[in-house]
Amino acid sequence: MTFQDVLIALERYWAARGCVIEQPYDLEVGAGTMHPATFLRTLGPEPWRAAYVQPSRRPADGRYGENPNRLGRYFQYQVVLKPSPDDAQELYIESLRTLRIDLREHDLRFLEDDWEDRTLGASGLGWQVFLDGQEITQFTYFQQMGGIDLPVVSAEITYGPERIAQFIQRKDNVYDLVWAPGITYGEIRRQEEVEHSTYAFEAADVPTLRGLFDAYEREAGRLLDRRLVLPAFDHVLKCSHVFNLLDARGAVGVAERASLMGRSRALARRCAELYLARREELGWPLLRSRTHAA
Amino acid sequence: MPPDAPGTSPAGRGRRGGRDEPARLVFEIGTEELPPAAAWEGARQLRDNALAAFDAARLPAAGVRAYSTPRRLALIVDRVAPRQEDLIRAVRGPAARIAFGPDGRPTQAAEGFARAQGVATASLERRQTPQGDYVFAVRREPGAPAARVLAGLLPQLAEGLAFPKAMRWGTGATRFARPVRWLLALLGRRVVACEFAGVRAGRRTFGHRVLHPRPLVVHSADAYEEALREGYVLLDPEERRARITAGAARAARDAGGRPLLDPDLVDETVQLVEWPEAFAGRFADEFLDLPREVLITVMQHHQKYFAVEDASGRLLPAFVAIRNGGTQGLDIVREGNEWVLRARLADARFFFDEDRRQPLASRVEHLAGLVFLEPLGTMAQKAQRLERLADSLRRLLGLAPEAAAHLARAARLSKADLVTQIVREFPELQGVMGGIYARLDGEPEPVAGAIREQYLPRGAALPRSELGAYLAVLDRVDTLLGALAAGIAASGSQDPYGLRRAAQGIVAVAVDRGWPLRMRDLASAALDAYAVADPDRRARALREAMEMLQQRLRTALIEDGISYDTVDAVLASGADDLADATARARALWAFRRRPEFTQVHMAYDRAARILPHGFTGEIREDALAAPAERALFATVRRLQTLEAVQDAGAASARSGAGTGAGSPESPWGARVAALVDRYTEALGHLAALGEPVDRFFTDVLVMDPDERVRANRLALLEAVVAMIRPIADLSRVVMGEGKPVAAS
């Protein structure tokens, strides 16, 4: 199974289980959770099921293309099920079978892992899923988003498709993965890892980044004041990415770190509150939806 | 046979068939994978709460126990009575002489009372009470059948479980450690109809996720464990533990060694698997170059593997893992785990090599970017304060120049490993990595050792080197005084900065090393290092710190088996020097078992009682007239010349005791034992006061009308108290308690 076969199999599997196949968000984000299809949709009472690939940027994890496991940009396959169904775990396990993993031949574990994102004011309880000692998935029941308790709990399943493909292909170096017949992950992505690592650790201009953070933060606040929640949220995501770059660059002291995270969290909270207000004004449209039965 | 009408037969009798026999109960809460701590704690609470609940519900139950696996909490009761016990309620009515007429027939009063109580007049009982004879209406509310009682009781048990972290799921409002997916409730062969978390109880359970994915139907409570076993689930954690430890030993033996069975990891693993299967895997020899601690941490912390060592205690390039499942595909599982570990070790190797590019000393400056505790500045500032404190300790203990230089160097480097990649990845290796890197950098051995040991004691492990002990105490004194000066205190169960643990560590180390150190001086130096100037803040922080240390010392001494009143008597005489206070407590506790103790106690107690508060006076020898006065004076004078008694009374002399008796590695290591001997000797001498004090009080009126005579006699008694009081305030000793227990 190639890397892209893994992604395609997951798309088909979750499409058949009532998920909207969303597309990656077109901004730099650190995780699939930050996609509005998860962060905003899990707020409020409306049902929602979606699945999508999300390229995830973690500038501090860049290793110039030299480390066999760490990447500054990698992929998440994200599934969000709202409300969390009774058979969420079974659905997940079944998805592994569609990846032709015969679980009787392997060791599957759900290891306690409580998840928290302090820049988003988000938290949940769940597990890291281990297969033969390899972490392949994060499985989380969201409890809070944007600092708001969730009345309807969503299950979030975040696959690490590289890890799964490495597992299936028996490759201990991510760059050796066969992405598509005849071409590897490394051939497609290594240059990007080298250049972005160089950018994040050496070339990024700190005064420019600081200026961007302030500008994006101001813009987010201004847009929130005008009740434009989705554009505002985009700017929160931009703040978050700039923060990650500053952090990778080693430019953030500890006190400042807490302060920047707090500013980002405050904006995320305002977005969450405004989103709820806007959806309510719209009459919670998905509560009436016929096309998207959970 | 029709059902018995209530009240026509005593509870639980007169029935036929199995239902009037006690029956076995199984109540299983099926969940998604519980955190190991929740599985352990849930089973404990389930059992404890069940015992109380059965009692409160008047439902006799025997053989109550609870078990847990990653996916279930199960309550098993071997014998539940078929019915609740009847509730018998006796209500007092009118006095017998009013209730019955002279003819012995019930009066209107009796009839009215019986009617109001809903019983027949003829059933009223006449009983004697302290107030005379009265009539009673006795109502027997028959107990409900067990199944009906349990239908209410079992959901309450489930609801009553409290987890430190609970969650909601779906659209429900129930909070539990993880989502509840099924309930099994069987009393004998019957389902107990009940519901919890939106799930109805039945006779279905589930076996191992992979080996037995389909539900298991349990026909009878008796068949529960066996059904689980057929579903590849071992219900009893102890059975899983036995299989894990035996399997790990076997797998490690096959790999040529024995497993390092970390107890916490074993506990955790027991609750990660329902059907344990141990296997060994290997990693490349080249990784054995990594420090042992790094290898063990990668295996245990990240992968939950047990490390394997050979007979000489050297790590082998092997590990033991516990799989949740049987032997099918075991080679594939092994290969996968080996592959993951190889990647992990390659990461660790990368971090280690990166860290080694720079000497540890060059990292100190990066500590400026690392906060110690929010109000207490950065780790760079902490390291600077520790260096200053090291100099204070040199002065207070009179350290030799070489030791002082090593301590200062260790203090300077102590926190540098916090900005290494390995410690960022494995925070539990703080200190250990610093020690390793310092050694590789060619720092002197005592410096490396002290860095390594600075976070001890952890559990029972104390620092082994004198320098490590110094650094461990300086680190904690700095934390404690800094927090207290910043107005942070531990209260109740809240101790977010670990201040109590810090105080406990200081006490444990200072006593273990026997230092002649006044903690107040060191605490004061710590406040200087923080540049706390405000006298009120200084005084408050000092007072709170000394109170905390004294409190921790008190707890430690009581845990050692010394009675609380002995400890309190000793602490009342001061505990600034923790090792000295410990020695006094040990000496006094042993001395209390000897008959002479009553002599010392009596002398002190009688003298202290009569002395006016704050009295001081000089003994004028020429004014001593009575033979009892002269005799006591002679004894006092004689004792005052004895070295042991002088030592006991003089803090300065005490401080030196034991110096030189210790080894260079532990200069004061023998001090506590030497002090115990000295105090014991002093107490033995002081017993000589008993007889003359007794005679003094018998023959002489202390409160003589002549003021001069009275003052002289009080001065004599003050001298008695002054000889004993530096050891302990014996008036706090509770006589008759903590007394010598035979042969102990």
Please state, in angstroms and rounded to a whole number, the distance separating the CA atoms of residues B554 and B570: 10
Task: Please state whether the peptide bond connecting residue B317 to the residue before it is cis, i.e. omega within 30 degrees of 0.
Answer: no
In Å, the largest CA–CA distance within chain B is 111
At residue B694 the predicted structure's pLDDT band, cuts being 50, 70 and 90, is: very high
Residues in chain A, pLDDT under 70: 253-255, 289-294
pLDDT mean over B179-203: 97
Other residues' Cβ atoms within 10 Å of the Cβ of residue B87: 12
Q: Out of B168, B178, B303, whose CB is closest to A133?
A: B303
Helix-helix angle A254-281:A229-248, to 10 degrees: 160
Contact A106 B340 (CB under 8 A): no
Instruction: Say yes or no: B165 contacts chain A, CB-CB below 8 A.
Output: yes
Which of B465, B394, B392 has its CA nearest to residue B435? Answer: B465
Instruction: Judge if A145 and A208 occupy the same domain.
Output: no
For residue range B560-603, what is the model confidence (pLDDT) as tens digits? 999 999 999 999 999 999 999 999 999 999 999 999 999 999 99
Q: Is residue A294 situated within a structural domain?
A: no
Burial class (CB in 10 A: 0-12, 13-18, 19+), A52: buried
Decide: helix, strand or coil at residue A80: strand
**Contact predicate B329/B291, CB 8 Å:** no
Same domain, residue pair A142 and A210? no
Tell me phi and psi for residue A192, to 5 degrees: -60, -45
Do B378 and A254 count as a contact with CB atoms less than 8 A apart? yes
| A149-158, A246-255, B108-117, B605-614: the lowest-pLDDT one | A246-255
Chain B nearest C-alpha distance from A119 (Å) = 19
Residues near B310 by Cβ (< 8 Å), separated by ≥ 6? B256, B257, B316
CB pairs under 8 A between A and B: 108
pLDDT attached to residue B487? 87
pLDDT score for B15: 42
What angle is formed at CA A278 by the lines to CA A272 and CA A283, rounded to 5 degrees?
Answer: 125
Contacts of B281 (CB under 8 A, 6+ apart): B305, B318, B319, B320, B321, B334, B337, B338, B341
Which whole number is the average pLDDT over B460-486?
94
Whose tokens are 């399943």? That residue is: A157
Chain A residue with minimum CA distance to B325: A107
- DSSP letters, B450-475, are HHHHTT--BTTBPP-SHHHHHHHHHH
pLDDT beyond 80 at B490: no
Top-confidence residue, B657 or B7: B657
Fold of B360-559: Hypothetical protein af1432 (1.10.3210)
- From chain A, the residues in CB contact with B332 under 8 A are 105-106, 132
Do residue B333 and residue A167 have CB atoms under 8 angstroms apart?
Answer: no
Higher pLDDT, B20 or B406: B406
| Last residue within a domain, chosen from A133, A167, A192 | A192
Angle of CA points B100, B103, B108, to nearest 5°: 40
Q: Are residues A136 and A223 both part of a single domain?
A: no
Residue B5 clears pLDDT 80, i.e. is over it? no
Whether residue A86 and residue B303 make contact (CB cut-off 8 A), yes or no, is no
* Residue of A61, A110, A252 to mutate for B, most B C-beta atoms under 10 A: A110
Q: A163 and A271: one domain?
A: no
* Nearest in space to B300 (alpha carbons), one of B326, B266, B272: B266
Note whether B35 contacts A: Cβ–Cβ < 8 A: yes
**Beta bridge partner(s), residue A73:** A57
CA distance linking residue A180 with residue B71, whole number of Å: 39
Find the radius of gyration of the CA atoms of chain B: 36
Residues A187 and A220 in one domain: no
Length of chain B, in residues: 744
Collect all residues of chain B within an 8 Å Cβ-Cβ radius of residue A70.
347
Cα distance between residue B410 and residue B473, in whole Å: 13
pLDDT digits (tens, 9 = 90+) for B341-355: 998 898 899 889 989
- Do the Cβ atoms of A254 and B70 come within 8 Å? no
Using CB atoms, pick whichever of A70, A86, A143 lies closest to residue B181.
A86
Two structure tokens written together for B333: 């599982």
Backbone angles phi, psi at B205, to 5 degrees: -135, 180
Confidence (pLDDT) at A190: 97
A143-152, B48-57, B114-123: range with lowest mean pLDDT:
B114-123
Residue B26 scores a pLDDT above 60: yes
Of A162, A192, A222, at which residue does a domain stop?
A192
Candidate ranges A194-208, B130-144, B619-633; pick with highest mean pLDDT: A194-208
Residue B161 identity (one-letter amino acid)? L
End residue of a domain, out of A143, A160, A192: A192
How would residue B386 be classed by pLDDT, with cut points 50, 70 and 90?
very high
Beta bridge partners of B126: B135
User: How far, in Å, CA of B90 to CA of B231, rounded?
Assistant: 52
Spatial distance between the Cα atoms of B297 and B56, rounded to a whole number of angstroms: 48
Residue B195: CB atoms within 10 Å: 14
State whether A182 and A271 are in the same domain. Answer: no
Architecture of domain B18-84+145-230: 2-Layer Sandwich (3.30)
CA–CA min distance A170, chain B (Å) = 8
B329·A89 Cβ contact <8 A: no
Which one, of B118, B138, B126, lies nearest residue B96 by Cα?
A: B126
From the CA atom positions of chain A, what is the Rg in Å?
19
Per-domain boundaries in chain B: 18-84+145-230, 87-141, 237-349, 360-559, 566-732
pLDDT of B662 reads 59
Q: In terms of residue numbers, what domain contains A232?
A: 201-287
Chain A nearest-CA residue for B369: A253
Phi, psi of B235 (to 5 degrees): -70, -40
Mutate to test the interface with B, among A96, A97, A104, A107 (most CBs of B within 10 A): A107
A263 contact partners, CB below 8 Å, separation of at least 6: A217, A239
Q: What is the pLDDT of residue B409?
A: 97
**Residue A41 sits in the same domain as residue A182:** yes
Tell me which chain A residue has its CA closest to the CA of residue B34: A112
* B33 in contact with A, Cβ within 8 Å: yes
Residues of B (350-409) whose Cβ lies below 8 Å from A = 350, 368-371, 378
Q: What are residue A127's DSSP bridge partners? A: A112, A139
Question: Do A108 and A22 share a structural domain?
Answer: yes
For residues A113 and A219, membership in a common domain is answered with: no
At B622, the amino acid letter reads D
Q: Rounded to the nearest 10 degrees, how much is the dihedral formed by the CA atoms of B279, B284, B289, B292?
A: -10
Predicted local confidence at residue B262, as pLDDT: 93
Q: Please tell me the predicted confidence (pLDDT) of residue A282.
A: 96
> Which residue in chain A has the smallest CA separation from B334?
A132
- Residue B479 identity (one-letter amino acid): T
Tell me how many domains chain A contains. Answer: 2
Query: What tens digit of pLDDT does each residue of A60-113 get?
Result: 999 899 888 889 999 999 999 999 999 999 999 999 999 999 999 999 999 999
CATH no. for residue A32?
3.30.930.10
Nearest 5°: CA angle at B326, between B320 and B332? 65
Nearest alpha carbon to residue B122 among B98, B138, B140, B133: B138
Judge whether A138 lies within some domain: yes
Token pair of B659 as six digits? 């110096």
Is A110 found in the same domain as A29?
Answer: yes
Q: What is the mean pLDDT of residues B513-542?
A: 94
Whether B173 and chain A come into contact, CB under 8 Å, resolves to no
Residue A177 lies in a domain: yes
Comparing C-alpha atoms, which of B209, B293, B282 is closest to residue B251? Answer: B282
Q: Which chain A residues have a beta carbon less than 8 Å from that of B371?
A: 254-255
How far apart are the C-alpha atoms of A124 and A126, rounded to whole Å?
7
Task: For residue B552, name the pLDDT band (cuts at 50, 70, 90).
Answer: very high
Beta carbons of B171 and A109 less than 8 Å apart = no
Q: For residue B75, what are the β-bridge partners? A: B27, B66
Q: Give me B553's structure tokens.
A: 């010392």
User: What is the model's pLDDT at position B658?
Assistant: 45
Q: Kindly determine whether residue B340 and residue A68, on different chains, have CB atoms separated by under 8 Å.
A: no
Tell how strand B180-187 and strand B190-191 pair up. antiparallel
CATH of the domain at A274: 1.20.58.180
Tokens representing residue B663 in the block: 């080894």
CB neighbour list of residue A272: distance below 8 Å, 6 or more residues apart: A39, A40, A43, A121, A145, A146, A147, A148
Residues 309-338, chain B: which have Cβ within 8 Å of A? Answer: 321, 323-325, 328-329, 332-333, 335-337
For residue B627, the SS3 value is helix
Cis bond before residue B457 (omega within 30° of 0): yes
Cβ-defined contact of A107 to B339 (cutoff 8 Å):
no
Separation in Å, CA B508 to CA A180, B454, B466, B538: 63, 13, 13, 25
Residue A167 and residue A84 share a domain:
yes
ipTM field? 0.94
Length of chain A: 294
Do A78 and A216 fall into the same domain?
Answer: no
The answer to whether the CB atoms of A253 and B323 lie below 8 A apart is no
Give the 3-state secondary structure of B640-653: HCCHHHHHHHCHHH
Whether residue B11 is predicted with pLDDT greater than 70 in this model: the reply is no
Q: Determine the distance in angstroms separating the CA of A242 from the nearest CA of chain B, rounded to an integer.
A: 19
Which residues are B61's β-sheet partners? Answer: B80
The pLDDT assigned to A182 comes to 97
Q: pLDDT > 90: what percent of chain B?
A: 75
Hey, are the CB atoms on B339 and A253 less than 8 Å from each other?
A: no
Which residue in the block uniquely carries the two structure tokens 């990660």?
Answer: B272
Strands (E) across B283-352 are located at 306-309, 315-324
Can you say how many angstroms the Cα of residue B343 is from the centroid of all Cα atoms in its chain? Answer: 38
The A-side interface with B (CB below 8 A) comprises 67-70, 83-86, 89, 93, 102-112, 114, 124-125, 127, 131-134, 141, 143, 151-153, 155, 167, 170, 172, 250, 253-255
Q: Rounded CA gap, B481 and B472, in Å?
A: 14
Which residues of chain B have a CB within 8 Å of the CB of A114? 165
**Do B99 and B93 touch, CB atoms closer than 8 A?**
yes
Angstroms from B336 CA to nearest CA on chain A: 5
Backbone angles phi, psi at A55, to 5 degrees: -60, 135
d(CA B462, CA B511): 11
Cα-Cα end-to-end distance for chain B: 67
Give the pLDDT confidence score for residue B20 in this predicted structure.
78
Which burial class, exposed, middle or buried, applies to B359 when counting CB atoms under 10 A from its CB (0-12, 13-18, 19+)? Answer: middle
Q: What angle do CA B432, B438, B444 make, to 5 degrees?
A: 120
Instruction: For residue B338, give the chain A residue with the closest CA.
Output: A133
Q: Which of B33, B168, B335 sits opposite A143 (nearest CB)?
A: B168
Structure tokens given for B491: 């209260």
Q: What average pLDDT does chain B have?
A: 91
